[in-house]
Amino acid sequence: MSNETGMTTSTPAHDAPAGLRESKKRETRQLISDHATRLFMAQGFERTTIAEIADAARVAKKTVTNYFPRKEDMALDHQEAFAASLADTVASRSSGESALAALRRAFEAAVAAQDPIAGFAGPDFSRMIDDSPTLSACLRGLHDRREEALAHALARATGTSAADITPRTAAALLGAAHRVLFGRIQELTLAGHSGEDIARTVGDEAARAFDLLEPALADYAVA
């Protein structure tokens, strides 16, 4: 890593500009996550210890746990983006576009780009999750969080209470479709299919899945 920090050698670390400190923290966090994920994929999540991760990243064990209080957060380090993804799509939908149409359009784009948020994580990463009860449970929890965030976004979009049954039901239907399609991408990945083949297959299957929701949600939450 570069030593070009813009400071003289006599400047104490705690006097570093705030932006530089934050940049260094992000670098350290990413370094730990990268080494942890590499070890998880090589030897399994449950079998990898915090000490091994710290040694690989050349940091103290306490540094690892300060950045990642939960071990699974090192493997699934884009949780907030995943949990917010459907809600963000609804919030940014175009004028005249329904929530279903916006989510359908966004998923089609994600499949075309083979976006990891949609499930295109590669065979090693997908196998790491599939082989780990802890990571599999964490992923299910993330799907639940994503559905809950979507329900709140739909409530805001329609001017109803978050406790209202309609946005919650709509979020459950839309969340279930995305959950099934995410699982399908993982399934095909683990079966050895290429990203291009998976994109073609899931693109066709997604069209059928979203078509099933059209009668109920085609005119719901139109911007």
Mean pLDDT (whole number) for 2-17: 44
Domain residue ranges in the chain: 13-75, 79-217
Q: Which CATH superfamily, name and number, covers 79-217?
A: Tetracycline Repressor, domain 2 (1.10.357.10)
Give, in order, the Cα–Cα distances in Å from 107 to each of 69, 175, 182: 32, 12, 10
Q: How far apart are the first and last CA of the chain?
A: 47
What's the sign of the alpha-carbon dihedral 38, 39, 42, 47?
A: negative
pTM for the complete prediction? 0.86
CB atoms within 10 A of CB 189: 22
Q: Which residues contact 153 (CB under 8 A, 6 or more apart)?
A: 86, 87, 88, 90, 91
| pLDDT at residue 14 is higher than 80 | no
Note the pLDDT of residue 3.
39
Note the pLDDT of residue 77.
78
Rounded CA-CA distance 58/36 in Å is 12
Coil vs helix vs strand at 99: helix
Note the pLDDT of residue 16.
58
The answer to whether the beta carbons of residues 80 and 166 sit under 8 Å apart is no
Q: Which CATH superfamily, name and number, covers 13-75?
A: Homeodomain-like (1.10.10.60)
Rounded CA-CA distance 126/17 in Å is 39
Give residue-wise pLDDT tens across range 150-197.
999 999 999 999 889 999 999 999 999 999 999 999 999 999 999 999
What is the DSSP code string of 114-172?
T-GGGT---HHHHHHHHH-HHHHHHHHHHHHHHHHHHHHHHHHHHT--TT-HHHHHHHH
Within the chain, where are the H helices?
18-43, 50-57, 61-67, 72-75, 79-91, 99-113, 123-131, 133-158, 165-190, 195-217
Q: How far is CA 57 from the centre of its chain?
A: 23
Give residue-wise pLDDT tens across range 41-86.
999 999 999 999 999 999 999 999 999 999 999 999 789 999 999 9
Give residue-wise pLDDT tens across range 107-164.
999 999 999 999 999 999 999 999 999 999 999 999 999 999 999 999 999 999 988 9
Q: Where does the pLDDT of residue 17 fall: very low under 50, low under 70, confident under 90, or very high at 90 and above?
A: confident
| pLDDT at residue 9 is higher than 50 | no
